[in-house]
Amino acid sequence: MVMRLLLTLILLASPVLWATTPPLELAKQLTDKHQVERYLASEKYDGIRATWINGELRSRGGLLINTPANFTANWPSMRLDGELWAGRGRFNHVSNTVLDNQPNAQHWQDIRFMVFDAPSDKPFFKRYSDYTHAIAHCDCDNLEAIKQHRFSTRAQLSQWFNELVSQGAEGVILHRRDARFNPGRSDNVLKLKPYMDSEARVIGYQQGRGKYQGMLGALIVVDKRGKQFKIGTGFSDAERANPPAIGSTITFKYHGYTKNGVPRFASYLRQRKPLN
């Protein structure tokens, strides 16, 4: 348990701590100021972000991901950014599989690397063409190019977004068509989700009452802004019986902020064990 917690903290480390980690593009929220016709849109996969570079698969934090020997066989030599994914609603399966010290070949059979970029000095629409062509011509069953879509109006995008979410998708990612790769958070990459989410560090527990007597009632957490608050919903009974450890990082969803700056209707999503 202790070793797994330590590995979790390493996996969550900031990319700047790892010299082996290439710079990454990060998404901002889609707002009314953005012109959707300038973007290509794809489903947002709730998996584990990773980068294929120099013949190695590395986490967002720069940690080498141990896979079965044949998992990356025949992959293109070009750098690929994507998500390790096993289907909607199977985040925990991917997380647990990646965290295994010894790769379980059977578990890895369920996982695909969903590619959304191949960083280079070209604009995104050309990068999309390059990695789609490369993946189509390699003998790689577990490697897939995420399909990009173009919409001329926000109404079209919203209709497609609602259809995806109704099917269990996490949301949508938009890449500006003509943007060259630009590490960090910018308007080049945007995200659209049915709710906002963020991360917080667990600093304490509130005991449960009633049917939750002797179990977790709420987590006491502090977010990236230093704001302390409680999260008491979103947990299964198993998670209440064995809650995230103090010091661990969790992901929660919320709907804006109160006048005091506290996330409104904060609800637990998961412990952020993997490489995000």
Domain boundaries in the chain? 24-192, 196-271
Is residue 76 within 8 A of residue 135, CB to CB? The reply is yes
For 145, phi then psi, to 5°, come to -85, 125
Residues forming beta bridges with residue 147, ordered by sequence position:
none
Classify domain 24-192 at the CATH topology level: D-amino Acid Aminotransferase; Chain A, domain 1 (3.30.470)
Total Cβ atoms within 10 A of residue 49:
18
- Please name which of 79, 38, 28 lies closest in space to residue 56, comparing C-alpha atoms: 79
Residues 6+ apart with CB under 8 A from 128: 40, 117, 145, 148, 175
Q: Tens-digit pLDDT profile for the chain (276 aa)?
A: 334 444 444 444 443 334 456 789 999 989 888 999 999 999 999 899 999 999 999 998 888 999 998 999 999 999 999 999 999 889 889 999 998 888 999 999 999 999 999 999 999 999 999 999 999 999 898 999 999 999 999 899 989 998 998 888 889 999 999 999 999 999 999 999 888 889 999 999 999 999 999 999 999 999 999 999 999 999 999 999 999 999 999 999 887 777 788 887 899 999 986 554
Q: Which residues pair with 204 in a beta bridge?
A: 220
Which pLDDT belongs to residue 20? 57
Tell me the angle at which helices 91-99 and 2-11 cross, rounded to the nearest 10 degrees: 110
- Residue 180's pLDDT is 97
Overall fold of domain 196-271: OB fold (Dihydrolipoamide Acetyltransferase, E2P) (2.40.50)
What pLDDT, on a 0 to 100 scale, did the predictor assign at position 2?
39
pLDDT at residue 89, rounded to an integer: 84
pTM of the model: 0.71
